[in-house]
Amino acid sequence: MCGCGEPRWAWGRCAPSPMLLLSLLLSAAPFGLLGEETRQVSLEVIPGWLGSPQNLLHIRAVGTNSTLHYVWSSLGPPAVLLVATNTPHSSLVVNWSCLLSPEPDEGLMVLPKDSIQFSSALVFTRLFEFDSTNVSDVAAKFPGKPYPPYPLAEFSWNNITDSLDPATLSATFRGHPMHDPTNAFANGSLAFRVQAFSGSGRPIQPPRLLHTADTCQLEVALCGASPRGNRSLFGLEVATLSQGPDCPSVQEQLSIDDEYTPAVFQLDQLLWDALPSGFMQWRPVAFSQKQRGRESALPCQVSPLHPTLEYPLPQSPIVRAFFGSQTNFCAFNLTFGASTGPGYWDHYYFSWSMLLGVGSPPVDTLSALVLGIMAVALGAPGLMLLGGGLILLLRHKRYSEYQPIN
């Protein structure tokens, strides 16, 4: 639940209280002292089989005693496998004839198998479009009347090799529907830009999610596709594996640091509960222009996760190959934009970013700027208040120690 119904968009409404600021100020210090971990990251396009135009991108991130494997593919619906191993020597093995067969089990493996500490997957199954013309309530969970969705398994994708950039450790899957009777994608495309990192940092462009060497960033952008209505909102259906009988849940975290993503005081994350776990993390914001800023910010809503037993999902061969057929999936919807404010209709563009990672999600610490402002703002009166509060607290405590006598 992105909770954009109650968005933290402006200081006035949902800005953190001074007490929250203070407690964060007191608790944030230790995080700032954590060292940076780096990894040796390589991107490799696994060559197809008999010239089959299949995209399989392997991101291998090697640390001192662990290796992370991110495998992205547009074979079937776009999907990613994330696999963490406890050795710097684990490797990906692909058997194309098996992977492309109707029963791809074990067509893709990370060896040695007993080094795997954590594995999960995401599958991007459908692109939704909604007509929000008659949705007057901005806070409505209902994005509007759905148009027929675009199944992403029926997209054709570019040759990933051409977009591979070893300098930025990135690659872009760019696709459009194979059958496009209305020519909606004649000038448009849906792009999944994948980026890995060898250390921690923050991109220049909002939402400026804090990344580490354990994470991988995905930017989804729809660009130039003709909408089917005047006020079209778009959405994305995402499926993931459930580790147990229940679906993972999405947690909302309030954050105070709006220096990097102005006016968005929230961070959402999906945690797979196995330990050491993995996560998907994002800010509930999308952008309606390439120039991302406050003026082009769109709210993003996430639905609860539901098991997908009731309706069929398109299969991802890489997920089936790695996990076998005995897996339960859960799905959720992300929707971008609201019927009012800026929208896709302005520039025929939206983009949204998320981080995918292993271990604990990166925690935003207070930046030096915010700390400085708070130090000045709280300043002497703040210290006096704090001192006064402590004295009251101590007095109250002493007082209450004598209470039980009655």
Ligand X SMILES: *[C@@H]1O[C@H](CO)[C@@H](O)[C@H](O)[C@H]1NC(C)=O
Residues that bind ligand X (CB under 6 A): 48, 51, 53, 64-65, 86, 95, 97-98, 101, 128, 131, 133-134, 145-146, 159, 161-162, 183, 186-187, 226, 229-230, 237, 303, 306, 331-333
Closest approach of Cβ 149 to ligand X, in Å?
7
Nearer to ligand X, 262 or 314 (CB): 314
Nearer to ligand X, 59 or 225 (CB): 225
Nearer to ligand X, 308 or 365 (CB): 308
Nearer to ligand X, 3 or 262 (CB): 3
Q: What share of the chain is helix, strand, coil (3-state, %, to 5)?
A: 20, 35, 45
Looking up tokens 């004295």 gives: 391
Kind and range of the H or E element at 155? strand 155-157
Kind and range of the H or E element at 220? strand 215-223
Cis upstream peptide for 177 (omega within 30°): no
155: nearest Cα among 80, 227, 55, 241: 55
Closest approach of Cβ 177 to ligand X, in Å?
13
Closest approach of Cβ 279 to ligand X, in Å?
19
User: Which positions ≥6 away from 246 have C-beta within 8 Å?
Assistant: none
Closest approach of Cβ 332 to ligand X, in Å?
5
Question: d(Cα 63, Cα 38) in Å, to the nearest integer?
Answer: 7
How does DSSP assign 372-395, residue by residue? HHHHHHHHHHHHHHHHHHHHHHHH
Closest approach of Cβ 242 to ligand X, in Å?
13
Nearer to ligand X, 53 or 388 (CB): 53
Nearer to ligand X, 306 or 347 (CB): 306
Closest approach of Cβ 46 to ligand X, in Å?
11
SS3 call for 402: coil
Closest approach of Cβ 209 to ligand X, in Å?
24
Nearer to ligand X, 256 or 321 (CB): 321
How does DSSP assign 2-22, residue by residue? --TTS---SHHHHPPPHHHHH
Looking up tokens 């119904």 gives: 5
